[in-house]
Amino acid sequence: MKIKLLVDAGDMKPGPALSQKLGPAGINIGKVIQDVNKATISFKGIKVPIELDVDAKTKNFTINVFTPPVSELLKKELGIEKGSGQHKKINVANAAIEQIISVAQTKMPGMLCKDFKSAVKSVVGSCVSLGILIEDKNPKETEKEIDAGKYDKEISAQVTSASDDKKKKLQEYFSILKVKQDELIKKEEAEKAEKEAAKVAAAGAAGTAAAAETSAKTEEKTPAKTAEAKAEKPSAKK
């Protein structure tokens, strides 16, 4: 019997939903939680897909842990909550090539890549849609540099840790960029608000003009009708 679950790595907790899934299997839920947390602790902070293979007779089980999506691994590695919704103009992080290599190393067993360099390039590709810079550059440019052999030394040695000085410089560059991005967003929001206000004002002016025109037409017709009514009204005296 196989049971698939999506759990908080290293922090799985009991609950009604879990009991509903594991109850029919007749296994010890407390032990499952303990073993799963132990097996997924390295991914703590993100959700991880797992599969429990349960022996219906002995009630023993084995845990198969699957690596999270590359996007989740990148967010954890870089300490960000989500990717960019406008990756072509808004960036959310600035990664060192070593951090990209670290994610590729973690994900490699579950990737259909012919070699480790291809795995690194795959992770770089994911950075594009998430709005993540690599070494102060657009990921597409980084991919070209990888093809040209710029990072062969780091990739070959699978270096997964950047120096504190390097991380500091990358963060300083991103901080300056973020200020510019925030200013751009504010400017766009202000322009959008002005356009909306102009539309509302134009609609209001058009409505006022229409009401005035209708009122004028009504006033023009009213005296004529009154005069016509008086002419048709028979005299009270004979």
Ordered by where they begin, the domains of the chain are 2-65 (3.30.1550.10), 70-187 (1.10.10.250)
Which residue type sits at 130? L
pLDDT band at 219 (very low <50, low <70, confident <90, very high): low
Can you name the residues that pair with 4 across neighbouring β-strands? 51
Spatial distance between the Cα atoms of 47 and 159, rounded to a whole number of angstroms: 26
Query: Tens digits of per-residue pLDDT, 167-176?
Result: 999 999 999 9
> What is the pTM (predicted TM-score) of this model?
0.69
Q: What pLDDT, on a 0 to 100 scale, did the predictor assign at position 89?
A: 84
Q: Is 116 exposed, middle or buried (0-12, 13-18, 19+ CB in 10 A)?
A: middle
Spatial distance between the Cα atoms of 123 and 69, rounded to a whole number of angstroms: 10
pLDDT band at 220 (very low <50, low <70, confident <90, very high): low
Query: Tens digits of per-residue pLDDT, 117-170?
Result: 999 999 999 999 999 999 999 999 999 999 999 999 999 999 999 999 999 999
The rounded percent of the chain whose pLDDT value lies above 90 is: 53
